[in-house]
Each structure stands twice: as structure tokens, then as C-alpha cells.
């Protein structure tokens, strides 16, 4: 007996066994009979630990002086990457997950430097920076825009809002250090 399609039908059983052996699971979804099926393999991965080990082993440039840096980004992953890079350079890091909490943290923490995402859902990084520039104690705090947007109009708008430098994602550690040196001074 030969099969026109497929094999022995063991694929899903093997997939389930592998998933469970790694603390994961397999889920299935179908729109209905004759519509095919989608199978998802979920295996937990400790990315944070692996990421920290890679960064710790890297030879990141050390800061000339330690700064208190406020990172404002609605993406926990992006904020964590910046935090790890900045700490590896010798800086203290405060994280805020929105423009609102970023403004509150800036007033409370009085950072030496602000790194902010531009595309946040509640209030944009542009608007947040414009608001911060109206506060006397924060007018002179250097700020770097960190964004996935890299069009000339985005960069110009960031400078108009009060940022002194602009970095596009993904962030490169050497570029980050250079931008920090350029806005804070060596």
C-alpha cells in the first residue's frame, strides 16, 4: 500500500513530544473542514539571559562619566536593549513606558540625558519633548530621539521638538556612545 500524500502521520506526535520535552506546547487552529490547519510550536526561550550574556561579553566602550539616563519607550524589548547597552557603558538607567510616565520620571529623577522613542501610542516622543522643554529645570537636558523612522522629515521634526541627536533602530552600541558624547560632551 502506498500513500499519495504524506507520510506515516507521526509528525504532530513527534512535534508534541519535542515541545513538551522543552516545557512548551503545540496549538492547532483551523477555519473548518477543507480549509487546512495551522500548527504553532511554542517553546519558552530565556532571551533576556542570553542577551545579557552576549552584552556582558562584548567589549562595549565605557563612558567617560556616569550619567543618569531616562529611557522612554513603550516597547519593553527596546527599552531593555537600551538599558543593557547603557549600563554596560557605566550609566544609571531609569525606564518609562509612555510619554506620560516619561515626563513624570524626568521631573522626579532629573536625568542628565533623555533617550526617547518617537512613535508612542499615548503622546508622541515629539510632543513629550516639546512639553519637557517648557519646564525650566529640564530645558537644558540633552535628549536623543531613538526611532524606527528615519526619513528626513522625521529627523527635522525631532530637532524642532528639542532633541539634539537622532538614532534609528536597531541601535548600534558604538553609534549610541558617539551620540551620547556629542550631546553631553566628552
- Cell numbers representing residue 184 in the block: 553631553
Q: What is the pLDDT of residue 46?
A: 59
CA distance linking residue 139 with residue 146, whole number of Å = 19
> Residue 20 above 80 pLDDT?
no
Q: What is the pLDDT of residue 96?
A: 97
SS3 content of the chain, % helix, strand, coil (to 5): 40, 20, 40
Which CATH superfamily hosts domain 66-185? Answer: Response regulator (3.40.50.2300)
CA distance linking residue 153 with residue 165, whole number of Å = 14
> Residue 1 above 60 pLDDT?
no
Helix, strand or coil, per DSSP, at residue 29: strand
pLDDT, tens only, 102-141: 999 999 999 999 999 999 988 999 999 999 999 999 999 9
Residue spans in the chain of domains classed CATH 3.40.50.2300? 66-185
pTM of the model: 0.67
pLDDT, tens only, 41-92: 777 765 555 555 555 545 445 556 789 999 999 999 899 999 999 998 999 9
Q: What is the pLDDT of residue 110?
A: 96
For the chain, percent of residues with pLDDT exceeding 70: 82
Number of Cβ within 10 Å of residue 24's Cβ equals 16
Helix, strand or coil, per DSSP, at residue 55: helix
Amino acid at each position: 500500500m502506498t500513500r499519495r500524500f504524506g507520510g506515516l502521520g507521526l509528525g504532530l506526535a513527534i512535534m508534541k513530544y519535542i515541545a513538551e520535552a522543552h516545557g512548551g506546547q503545540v496549538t492547532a487552529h483551523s477555519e473548518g473542514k477543507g480549509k487546512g490547519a495551522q500548527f504553532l510550536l511554542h517553546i519558552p526561550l530565556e532571551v533576556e539571559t542570553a542577551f545579557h550574556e552576549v552584552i556582558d561579553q562584548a567589549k562595549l566602550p565605557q563612558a567617560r562619566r556616569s550619567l543618569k539616563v531616562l529611557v522612554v519607550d513603550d516597547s519593553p524589548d527596546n527599552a531593555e536593549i537600551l538599558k543593557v547597552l547603557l549600563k554596560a557603558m557605566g550609566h544609571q538607567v531609569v525606564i518609562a513606558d509612555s510619554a506620560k510616565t516619561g515626563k513624570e520620571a524626568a521631573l522626579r529623577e532629573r536625568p542628565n540625558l533623555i533617550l526617547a522613542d518617537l512613535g508612542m501610542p499615548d503622546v508622541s516622543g515629539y510632543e513629550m519633548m516639546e512639553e519637557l522643554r517648557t519646564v525650566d529645570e529640564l530645558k537644558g537636558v540633552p535628549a536623543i530621539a531613538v526611532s524606527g523612522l528615519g526619513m528626513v522629515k522625521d529627523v527635522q521634526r525631532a530637532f524642532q521638538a528639542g532633541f539634539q541627536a537622532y538614532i534609528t533602530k536597531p541601535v548600534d552600541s558604538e553609534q549610541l556612545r558617539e551620540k551620547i558624547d556629542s550631546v553631553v560632551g566628552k
